[in-house]
Every structure is written in structure tokens, then in C-alpha cells.
């Protein structure tokens, strides 16, 4: 049996090893088009069986499936047998077909050979027929070439003599056409230069060209020379025009020399008139230079505009030469008189020059610029821009120095205006106006400098911009950030304090805490006034505007400046300065709001939590925190309406600062007490005063049966604070916005920890193993230090603390692994937060004693006496003054308070 299985296994492995190529697979799919999973190339038996039997119930029809499979197998076997039988005669048929194909190929080869031989015979016959025709055609071509050469030779011989006569008589109009023909013919005979006659004729042609060049040059000089009017051999305008056409046909150097001489002649007057020693040559009269050349060009075109051919561009050449001379002369005179150049004079000269160059660009097409100037001067073709103005570039530091002085004065002016800075009365004041003025000035300077140069002067301007951006930040923005002012020394009147006490006798301990807070105001941290808060927001919004505009300025500078300086343009340091101002403003606002809440947290530590006798509404310190938030946050939000992201950042930083402080304050409290809390009257005061010592029960447990109403009140207050902090971004606003998810996560996580700490404090410490297990479940990320602080909150004795800490250390490693697995399964901490209130309700213990109706009068009298004692003590702790008329510690009451209480 084993041998059969091994053989079957080997066969199966062999089948599985068969791998078909992609081409074969595609061919099979084209022939056998099937959707049966068994026919697929990636067939997987396991997947197929799982598809047939997806569950145990489907195994009931296994017999039917087996029957169908057996039927399919038998059908395939029949098909295979029929195919095999059909292939018996296939081999013989193939051999017969192959033999017939070979015979056909032999016949085809013989036919091709016959056709090839016939084609060769045909080609020989055609060559024989066309041999005479080719000879005749070659003779015709040779004869035609010979006749053409003789005609050219005749033209050359006759034309040379004719040209000599015409040139001697200065008949340039009749010289032009023969001259062009002779030059072309002479070029044709260059291949026969070894023939002596041809050499002689070519030399004569060259001599005629040289004589014409000399003669035309002399004629030009005679015509335009100062003594031309008295010269009897002076040519006419028509002859001069024809001479220009002849010069165009001659060598290019002839035309170039004529133009050079003529242009220098035209500008002699200008050179003498505007010599550097003349007063008219200085920059303040630079416009007279351009006026002169305009008049001269008009006069030239009126007199001789029709003489020179249009392609000579004489007017443009005169202008280009004028620009070159002007640039050189201005460079020399500015180098000699540099001390006399001020920015006003420099900008005047640059502006007049720029206007003149723009006029030239409109008047001329610039075709002569490249050949007339060097590449150092002209980097672009067809533009007169900076053809003269380049001489001013070495002196643009005068302009940039002036810009620096102007910006220094402007920033100083802004700083002086800022000393009396008043924030506009509207809710969203926007930005400081002089900030926009600064960047408008920047834009004007950048546009002006771009017209002058986009190279080093533009980079110097970038450095100036950087310096004054920092100066504006320090002298205008940072200098006007308000400093916290100490609160006004207001005397707390007894009447206002008494109103807090008599407002609600059912929550007397909270009112008494408010009285203590009034006495502690003298030691308050300095705070900002509402006007200072608005001013900080005003500066923050301005810094944000500067930050965004500096980024745009950097992009624009990189776009405009020369490519060699792009990598040097970097305003990152300046953006960091404004980032720092924004961060500083946010930090000041957070610190101010923190300072407002610190007094409330201090009041929280003054309350005798261990003697709380009634879980009522939220405590007074919570109301104070809510009041401070409602007074401060809406002002910040309204003044940062256009800086929403920084307002959100302010909220983030505040909760990140406040929640740890709140948790640290919780660690300082002692919210539990031992024994029953049903004592009333003066006995309650005594009990609260001695509650710092822990009494042991018969079983040795601490605070197991003590008063935990303080924890319940703290839990309620913590939930109230969490609700307020969740709505902090929209507090006091008619439009409620959902806070960002990141902000909500911070609040939920932080306040959930505070709730868990209170819940852990409410738990009995015995048995220790159960307490530590519950502790690690509720505070999985806690440390030994926090564990010790919580034991202090529970007033556990030092000896028991040491024992519990050792047990905690032993339980931590194993517990941490379990907590890591649990944290991976938890989606967020919100579920733990929502469960904390329910757990607290289950773990709270309801006292069995309740106050009677007959003790109400005495109870109120004791409250009044305690209030008077608190006022006269000026800061002494006011304890809870008896039992409340309401049921204490009931689970239902805590749940209702947590669910129904909403922030005011």
C-alpha cells in the first residue's frame, strides 16, 4: 500500500512540475476556450475543494459531487482515446504531405532558375540597343558645356574691357550689372586657373574690383568732405546712390570701410560738443545728448536717406556708434567726478537713458547690434536695452545705499508711530498699517532696481531687505509686545464676600473657597489687560502677514534676479524671526491664561476635600476657571479671526500646559478621610481638622470605609473641566465649531488620566493585589513616582506605602505586556474616559446616615459662623460645615450630575 501511495505521490509531483510557456498557454486558451476552474493554468485543488465545500453542511452532497467528477473523468478518458486513435494515421499522412511539398519546391526552383536566365538575356539585349544612344547623349552634354564655357569666356573678355571704360567715366549705374556678371563668370573659371589666359583675365577682374573700391571710397570722401562744395569733380546724388550699389557687390570690406568713415564723420560734431571738459557733458544735461542725436538723424535722413541702400541700415549704425561713444564718455566722466554723483542725479540719468533706449528699440530692428558691439556689452540680439545704461552699473551702490538709508528712516518712523500704537476698536482689527506700507516700499524698490539691473545691485537690495525686515521685527513688533502688569490692588469688601457665602447655602464650602480666593488676589501673577491681549493678537496677526509676504517676496526676488544669484537669495532667517514673534505671542497668551487659572488651582488646594459632606454642583474653582476662559478666550478668538491656525495652536498649547498643572494639583490633594462623615456641627470641623491622620480598621485597611465624597466631587469637577476644555475653541461664541481632532485627542487623553487618578484614589488598597491590578488597568502608563503620589493622596501610612510600592514593582513587568496588547486593540482613549464615570459610580459607597429636618436651623447658624471666621482669618482654610440636606454619594445622583451639568 505504501508503494502505491509513493508512486501516486511521485506521479502527482511530476504533473505539478510541468510548466507551459506563455505562448503555449495562450494557444491552448484560444483552442480550448473554457471557463471551468479545472482548465485554468493557476488551478489550485485546495481552493477548488473549499469552493465546493465551504462549510460542514455542504458535505452532505459529496456523493453527487463525486459522481459528477467520475462522469467528467470518464468523458475525458473517452475524448483522449478518440484523439489517440485519430492520431494513428496522422504520421503517415504527414509523411505524404511532406513528400508532396518537396516535389513542389523542386518544381518552383527550376522555374525560378529559368526566369533568371531569361532576365539576363533580356538585359544584354537592352544594353546592345542603348549603347549608341548613350554615346550620343554624352556627346550632347559635352557640346553644351563647351558652348557655355565659350560664352562665359566671351563675356569675360569683352566685359573686362567694357568695365574699364565705364569705371573710368564713373558710370556706376551701367557698371553694376556687368560687374555682377563678370564676378560670377570669374568664379566659374576658377577651376581652370592653371591656364595662363584665364589667370590673366582673373587678375584683370581683381584689379578692376580694387580700382572701383578705391575710386568709390575717394568719391565718397570728396562728396562729404568739408571742401566738397568747391570741388568741380563732385558726384551727383544719383551717382552716389549707384556707387553704393556697386560697393555692395564688391568685397564686404569696402562697404565696411565706407560706413566706418562716414559714421565717424557724422559724429565728429557730437564728440567735440560733448567733450568731457564741457559743462554740457555732465549727467544733469544727459538729455541734451539724446536730443542732439535725434535732430541729427532727422537731418541725415532728410538729406541722404535715399542715397544709401535700405539694407545698409545707416541710421541704425550711426545710432549704435553714438551709443557706444556715449557709454565710453559717460564712464570716463563719472569715474573722474564720482564724488559729485548723488542718487537723485544718478536716477535722473538712468531714467533718461532708459527712455532713449526704449525709443531706439521701437525705431530700429537691431540687426547691426551684434556686429557693432562686443559680446560683453550685448548679451542679447535685437535690443538697445542697457547699450548705454551699462555704464551706470558700477555706480548703482549709490542707489542701494540710498535705499538702505530711506528704509532705516522709514523703520525708525514706524517705531516712533508704534509707541502710541492703538488697536482699532473693531472686533477683527487686521494688521498694523505701516507693515503694508513697508512692503509697498519694498515692491517699488524691487521694480525700480529691476529696471536698473537684476545682477549684483539686485542682490545688494536683497541684503538690505533682509536687514530691515529684522529691524522692523525687533523695533516695531517685538518692542511693542505688552509686558504683564500687576493687578490693581482692589480691596475685597466684606459685603461682596458675604454675598458669595449667602448665595447658596447648599454648597457653602465652594462659596467659602471663593472668599479665600479674594483674599489671595494680592499675590496674583501679573496679567494682561483686555487691551494688552488685543494688542498681542494685533502683533501676532501682523507677524503672520509679514511671514506670508516675506515668502512671496523671496519667490519674486528669485524670479527676477539673475540666475547666478538665485541660490544666494535666502530669507529663511527673517522668516524664522517672524515665526519666533508669533510663537512668543502665543506663549504670552497661554501664560496669561495659565496665570488666571493658577489662582483657581491654588484655591482648589485650600478646599478640605476630605471633609466634603455633599456632592453638589461643580466647585467654585471650576466656576472661576470657566469665568476666566469666557473672559479671555473670546477676545483672543475674535482678534485672531483671520489667523485661525494660530488660534488653534493657542488652544493646543493652553490645554497642553493646563492639564498637567491640573493633574499635579490633584496629586497635592487629600480627598479621602477615614470613618463616617455623618458628624454635624462643630464635630464636623474637628473631624475635618484631624483628617490628615489615617485610622486603621480592624482588618488593617486604610480609607476602606472612609469618606470618599471629596473624590466624587473632584470627579464631577474634572468632568466639568473636560467638557469646558472640549468646547474651548468655540467658548462664548454663537457659532459652534467642531474642534480639530488633534485638539480633542489631547483633551480626552489628558483629562481621562485625571479621572483615572481620582478613580484609583477611590479604590480600597486592600487587598493589595486587587488594588494594584485595578491601578494598572486604569493607569497602564503610570510610573512608581505617580503610584507613590496616589498613595499619598489616599493618606496611606509610610509602612504600607513601601509594601505597596514593592508589590507594584513586582507586578509591573508582567502587567506591561498585557497592557501593550490591550492598547493595540483600543481605538482611542475616549472609551476609557466614558467608562470612568460608570466605574466611579459602582465603586462609590453611600453613607447610611442622613441629616434630619430638625437640625436645619443649627446647621445654617454654624455656616454663618464659619463664614465669619473665614473672613477674619484672611486665608485660613474653611472646612465643610456639616451634612448636606441631600443624599451623599448616591450612584444615581453622580450619574445625573455628570450627564446633565453643562458649562455655563
Burial class (CB in 10 A: 0-12, 13-18, 19+), 634: middle
User: Which three cell numbers mark 753?
Assistant: 488620566
Of 351-360, 367-376, 612-621, which range is least confident?
367-376
List beta partners, residue 527. 485
**DSSP structure string for 146-190:** HHHHHHHHHHHHHHHHHHHHHHHTT-HHHHHHHHHHHHHHHHHGG
The one-character DSSP state at 234 is P
What is the spatial distance between Cα 549 and Cα 569, in angstroms, rounded to a whole number?
Answer: 15
pLDDT value at position 885?
30
The three grid cell numbers given for residue 779, joined into one nine-digit string: 493607569
Top mean pLDDT of 379-383, 475-479, 498-502 is at 475-479
Q: Rounded distance, CA 560 to CA 449, Å? A: 10
Would you place residue 820 in the very low, low, confident or very high pLDDT band (cuts 50, 70, 90)?
Answer: very low
Judge if pTM exceeds 0.85. Answer: no
Residue pair 158/205 in contact (Cβ under 8 Å)? The answer is no
* Better pLDDT: 59 or 756: 756
Q: Name the CA radius of gyration of the chain, rounded.
A: 54
**Quick one: which H or E segment has residue 833?**
helix 830-843
pLDDT tens column, 185-243: 666 666 666 666 666 666 677 777 777 777 777 777 777 776 555 555 667 777 777 77
Closest CA to 597 of 686, 674, 527: 527
DSSP designation for 872? H
275 φ, ψ to 5°? -65, 150
410: Cα separation from own chain's centroid: 31
Higher pLDDT residue, 292 or 864?
Answer: 292
Quick one: DSSP state of residue 476?
A: I
The CA distance from 826 to 820, in Å, is 10
| Confidence at 481, pLDDT banded by 50, 70, 90 | confident
Give residue 669's pLDDT band: very low, low, confident or very high (50, 70, 90).
confident
Select the more confidently predicted residue: 441 or 689: 441
pLDDT band of residue 304 (cuts 50, 70, 90) is confident
- Give, in order, the Cα–Cα distances in Å from 60 to each of 54, 55, 622: 12, 10, 70
Question: Is 60 exceeded by the pLDDT of residue 544?
Answer: yes
Residue 646 contacts residue 536 (beta carbons within 8 Å) = no
Per-residue pLDDT tens for 438-457? 999 999 999 988 888 888 89
Cell of 464: 538690505
- CB–CB of 615/712 below 8 Å? yes
CA 289 to CA 274: how far, in whole Å? Answer: 8
Mean pLDDT of the chain: 74
Domains belonging to the chain, first-starting first, are: 178-226+234-372 (no CATH), 388-484+526-580 (1.10.357), 607-671+705-762 (no CATH), 764-816 (no CATH)
pLDDT for 677: 34
Amino acid at each position: 500500500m505504501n508503494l502505491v501511495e509513493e508512486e501516486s505521490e511521485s506521479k502527482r509531483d511530476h504533473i505539478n512540475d510541468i510548466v507551459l510557456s506563455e505562448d503555449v498557454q495562450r494557444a491552448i486558451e484560444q483552442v480550448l476556450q473554457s471557463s471551468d476552474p479545472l482548465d485554468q493554468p493557476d488551478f489550485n485543488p485546495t481552493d477548488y475543494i473549499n469552493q465546493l465545500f465551504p462549510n460542514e453542511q455542504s458535505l452532505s452532497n459529496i456523493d453527487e459531487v463525486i459522481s459528477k467528477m467520475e462522469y467528467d473523468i470518464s468523458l475525458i478518458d473517452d475524448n483522449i482515446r478518440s484523439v489517440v486513435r485519430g492520431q494513428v494515421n496522422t504520421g503517415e499522412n504527414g509523411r505524404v504531405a511532406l513528400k508532396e511539398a518537396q516535389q513542389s519546391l523542386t518544381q518552383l526552383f527550376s522555374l525560378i532558375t529559368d526566369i533568371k536566365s531569361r532576365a539576363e538575356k533580356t538585359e544584354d539585349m537592352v544594353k546592345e540597343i542603348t549603347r549608341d544612344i548613350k554615346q550620343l547623349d554624352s556627346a550632347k552634354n559635352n557640346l553644351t558645356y563647351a558652348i557655355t564655357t565659350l560664352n562665359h569666356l566671351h563675356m569675360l573678355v569683352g566685359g573686362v574691357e567694357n568695365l574699364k571704360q565705364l569705371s573710368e567715366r564713373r558710370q556706376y549705374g551701367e557698371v553694376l550689372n556687368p560687374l555682377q556678371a563678370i564676378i560670377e563668370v570669374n568664379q566659374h573659371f576658377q577651376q581652370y586657373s592653371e591656364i595662363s589666359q584665364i589667370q590673366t583675365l582673373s587678375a584683370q577682374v581683381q584689379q578692376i574690383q580694387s580700382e572701383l573700391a578705391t575710386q568709390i571710397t575717394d568719391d565718397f570722401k570728396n562728396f562729404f568732405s568739408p571742401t566738397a562744395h568747391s570741388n568741380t569733380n563732385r558726384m551727383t546724388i544719383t551717382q552716389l546712390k549707384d556707387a553704393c550699389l556697386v560697393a555692395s557687390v564688391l568685397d564686404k570690406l569696402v562697404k565696411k570701410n565706407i560706413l566706418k568713415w562716414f559714421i565717424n564723420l557724422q559724429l565728429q560734431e557730437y564728440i567735440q560738443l560733448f567733450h568731457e571738459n564741457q559743462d554740457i557733458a555732465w549727467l544733469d544735461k544727459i538729455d541734451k545728448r539724446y536730443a542732439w542725436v535725434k535732430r541729427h538723424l532727422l537731418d541725415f535722413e532728410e538729406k541722404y536717406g535715399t542715397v544709401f541702400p535700405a539694407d545698409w541700415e545707416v541710421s541704425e549704425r550711426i545710432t549704435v556708434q553714438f551709443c557706444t561713444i556715449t557709454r565710453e564718455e559717460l564712464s570716463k566722466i563719472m569715474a573722474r567726478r564720482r564724488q559729485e554723483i548723488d542718487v537723485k542725479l544718478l536716477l535722473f540719468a538712468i531714467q533718461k537713458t532708459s527712455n532713449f533706449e526704449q525709443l531706439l528699440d521701437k525705431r530700429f530692428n537691431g540687426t547691426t547690434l551684434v556686429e557693432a558691439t562686443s559680446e560683453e556689452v550685448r548679451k542679447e540680439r535685437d535690443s538697445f536695452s542697457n547699450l548705454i545704461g551699462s555704464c551706470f552699473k558700477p555706480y548703482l551702490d549709490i542707489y542701494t545705499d540710498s535705499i538702505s538709508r530711506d528704509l532705516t528712516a522709514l523703520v525708525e518712523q514706524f517705531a516712533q508711530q508704534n509707541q502710541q500704537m492703538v488697536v482699532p476698536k473693531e472686533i477683527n482689527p487686521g494688521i498694523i498699517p505701516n507693515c503694508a506700507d513697508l512692503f509697498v516700499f519694498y515692491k517699488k524698490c524691487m521694480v525700480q532696481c529691476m529696471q536698473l539691473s537684476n545682477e549684483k545691485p539686485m542682490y545688494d537690495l536683497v541684503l538690505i531687505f533682509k536687514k530691515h525686515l529684522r529691524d522692523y521685527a525687533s523695533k516695531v513688533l517685538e518692542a511693542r509686545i505688552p509686558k504683564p502688569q500687576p493687578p490693581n490692588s482692589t480691596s475685597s469688601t466684606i459685603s461682596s464676600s458675604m454675598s458669595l457665602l449667602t448665595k447658596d447655602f447648599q454648597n457653602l464650602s465652594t462659596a467659602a473657597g471663593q472668599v479665600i480666593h479674594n483674599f489671595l488676589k494680592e499675590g496674583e501673577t501679573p496679567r494682561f489687560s483686555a487691551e494688552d491681549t488685543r494688542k498681542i493678537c494685533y502683533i501676532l496677526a501682523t507677524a503672520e502677514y509679514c511671514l506670508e509676504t516675506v515668502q512671496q517676496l523671496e519667490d519674486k526676488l528669485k524670479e527676477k534676479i539673475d540666475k547666478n544669484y538665485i541660490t544666494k537669495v535666502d530669507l529663511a532667517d527673517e522668516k524664522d524671526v517672524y515665526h519666533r514673534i508669533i510663537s512668543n505671542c502665543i506663549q504670552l497668551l497661554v501664560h496669561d491664561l495659565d496665570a488666571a487659572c493658577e489662582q483657581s488651582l491654588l484655591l482648589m488646594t485650600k478646599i478640605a476635600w476630605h471633609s466634603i459632606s455633599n456632592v453638589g454642583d461643580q466647585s467654585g474653582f471650576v466656576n472661576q476657571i470657566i469665568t476666566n476662559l469666557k473672559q479671555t478666550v473670546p477676545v483672543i478668538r475674535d482678534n485672531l479671526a483671520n489667523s485661525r491656525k494660530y488660534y488653534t495652536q493657542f488652544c493646543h498649547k493652553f490645554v497642553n500646559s493646563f492639564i498637567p498643572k491640573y493633574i499635579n494639583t490633584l496629586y497635592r490633594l487629600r480627598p479621602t478621610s477615614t470613618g463616617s462623615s455623618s458628624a454635624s456641627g462643630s464635630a464636623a470641623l474637628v473631624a475635618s481638622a484631624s483628617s490628615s491622620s489615617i485610622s486603621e480598621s480592624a482588618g488593617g485597611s486604610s480609607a476602606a470605609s472612609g469618606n470618599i465624597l471629596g473624590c466624587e466631587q473632584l470627579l464631577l469637577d474634572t468632568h466639568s473641566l473636560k467638557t469646558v476644555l472640549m468646547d474651548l475653541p468655540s467658548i462664548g461664541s454663537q457659532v459652534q465649531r467642531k474642534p480639530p481632532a488633534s485638539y480633542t485627542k489631547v483633551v480626552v487623553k489628558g483629562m481621562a488620566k485625571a479621572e483615572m487618578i481620582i478613580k484609583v484614589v477611590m479604590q480600597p488598597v486592600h487587598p493589595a493585589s486587587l488594588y494594584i491590578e485595578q491601578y494598572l488597568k486604569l493607569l497602564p502608563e503610570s510610573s512608581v513616582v505617580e503610584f507613590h503620589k496616589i498613595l499619598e493622596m489616599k493618606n496611606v501610612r509610610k509602612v504600607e506605602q513601601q509594601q505597596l510600592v514593592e508589590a507594584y514593582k513586582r507586578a509591573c513587568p508582567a502587567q506591561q505586556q498585557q497592557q501593550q496588547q490591550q492598547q493595540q486593540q483600543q481605538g482611542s482613549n475616549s472609551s476609557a474616559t466614558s467608562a470612568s464615570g460608570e466605574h466611579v459610580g459602582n465603586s462609590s459607597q453611600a453613607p447610611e446616615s442622613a441629616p434630619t429636618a430638625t437640625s436645619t436651623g443649627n446647621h445654617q447658624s454654624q455656616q454663618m459662623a464659619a463664614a465669619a471666621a473665614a473672613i477674619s482669618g484672611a486665608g485660613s482654610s474653611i472646612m465643610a460645615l456639616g451634612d448636606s440636606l441631600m443624599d451623599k454619594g448616591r450612584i444615581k445622583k453622580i450619574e445625573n450630575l455628570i450627564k446633565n451639568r453643562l458649562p455655563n
